[in-house]
Structure 1
């Protein structure tokens, strides 16, 4: 089944946190919790949603500083990131200081597990495929729901552009390759949900990205 998707900007940098809900079971994945959010917590509680996974598109602080808060609420949820971004995760406290942001007291200093390129993650009766898209970070990924034709693209592909490649671990060459990869997978009729900003049709988003790579 396709997912129902809810979007919640979080933290000082307003990174998007997504809730991917399998309506058949009310199981869900929380993607990129950048900060604690009572608004998300309340919605999950009111709708009696069972959070089974906390998935991270890439390990920058603005996409995972809320992991401790939500992990304390949903301790059985699997907290996962791509294996290539585990070293990025470890440097987040210092990286956040560059932006004048302190790590939360409940900061989790490492993920519980990792996933690989091409791995399929089952959430209730629905599933997402992990697609490795390095460039912004070595382990940046997109989560793709092929049935619903939606893609959570993190800071790889925005509605109008691409993520920065000048942070540690970034690569302009890898970003170009990742956009080519996404163009083949998504075509023009998916809806992308990026790490910052609003959703967009994949065709328009990729056309804009191609002008920047």
Structure 2
């Protein structure tokens, strides 16, 4: 599995471009905005996009989903249905945070714990990891030892839990019971900031480490 991180929006959100090297087919994870930047990366890598994956319904992660899906006729997979209220509220989020003309959307497939999504011939396991939002999901490519965790976990920090239906103890449980057991060697792409490994966070993260 190959990936490129594309920071988008004033929040510097890590949109991820994933692609299968064998098929050159790919997916965009969390296209929050700046679609021209994302599409330039797709063209530069000569990737055929086949879907959009969404970790959760906050605007910096999902603000460009409706436009990109319509522009390229791409299906949308994710997040978990518990984040529907965030997605339905996308227009009000756009007014609150100054994003222009952001539309709500209806995922073609809501995701749940134990589901799988494909990118070319690669298969990602879906983990439902609430706490930052109630419907947050994580994508895990077991053979590649790679996880895309959105705003669940960061290098040296964790996702905020002061948004509607956020919960600190639920988030810590998601990290310790869902993510850390995947293995210390797993590299993860967070929603903001640099990549890290679960092992490094388990040892040194002051919020959720050992």
Q: Structure 2-normalised TM-score?
A: 0.91
Q: 1:88 to 1:145 in 2, by over 3 A?
A: same
Q: 1:208 to 1:166 in 2, by over 3 A?
A: farther
Q: Provide the rounded CA distance (Å) in 1 between the counterparts of 2:188 and 2:44.
A: 27
Q: Report deviation, 1:138.
A: 0.4
Q: Provide the rounded CA distance (Å) in 1 between the counterparts of 2:101 and 2:14.
A: 21
Q: Report deviation, 1:7.
A: 0.2
Which position in structure 1 is the counterpart of 2:178? 182
Secondary structure of the 2:78 match is strand
Which position in structure 1 is the counterpart of 2:29? 31
Q: Report deviation, 1:51.
A: 1.2
Q: Which moved more, 1:192-201 or 1:182-191?
A: 182-191
Q: Provide the rounded CA distance (Å) in 1 between the counterparts of 2:54 and 2:128.
A: 12
Which position in structure 1 is the counterpart of 2:165? 169
- Where structure 1 has 5 or more consecutive residues not aligned to the other structure, the ranges are none
Q: Provide the rounded CA distance (Å) in 2 between the counterparts of 1:177 and 1:19.
A: 28
- Whether the aligned pair in 1 keeps the contact of 2:56 and 2:78 (CA below 8 Å) is no
Q: Report deviation, 1:59.
A: 0.5
CA deviations 1:108-156 (Å, max 9, x no partner) are: 3433331111111122111111101100000111110100001101000
- Whether the aligned pair in 2 keeps the contact of 1:5 and 1:20 (CA below 8 Å) is yes
Secondary structure of the 2:118 match is strand
- Whether the aligned pair in 2 keeps the contact of 1:20 and 1:29 (CA below 8 Å) is yes
Q: Report deviation, 1:68.
A: 2.6
Secondary structure of the 1:114 match is coil
The CA RMSD measured in Å over matched residues stands at 1.8
Which position in structure 2 is the counterpart of 1:201? 197
Which position in structure 2 is the counterpart of 1:105? 101
Q: Report deviation, 1:183.
A: 4.4
Q: State the number of aligned residues.
A: 208
Q: Provide the rounded CA distance (Å) in 2 between the counterparts of 1:183 and 1:25.
A: 29
Q: Provide the rounded CA distance (Å) in 1 between the counterparts of 2:154 and 2:48.
A: 29
Secondary structure of the 2:87 match is helix
User: Is 1:130 matched up with 2:126?
Assistant: yes
- Where structure 2 has 5 or more consecutive residues not aligned to the other structure, the ranges are none
Secondary structure of the 2:40 match is helix
Q: Provide the rounded CA distance (Å) in 2 between the counterparts of 1:130 and 1:139.
A: 12
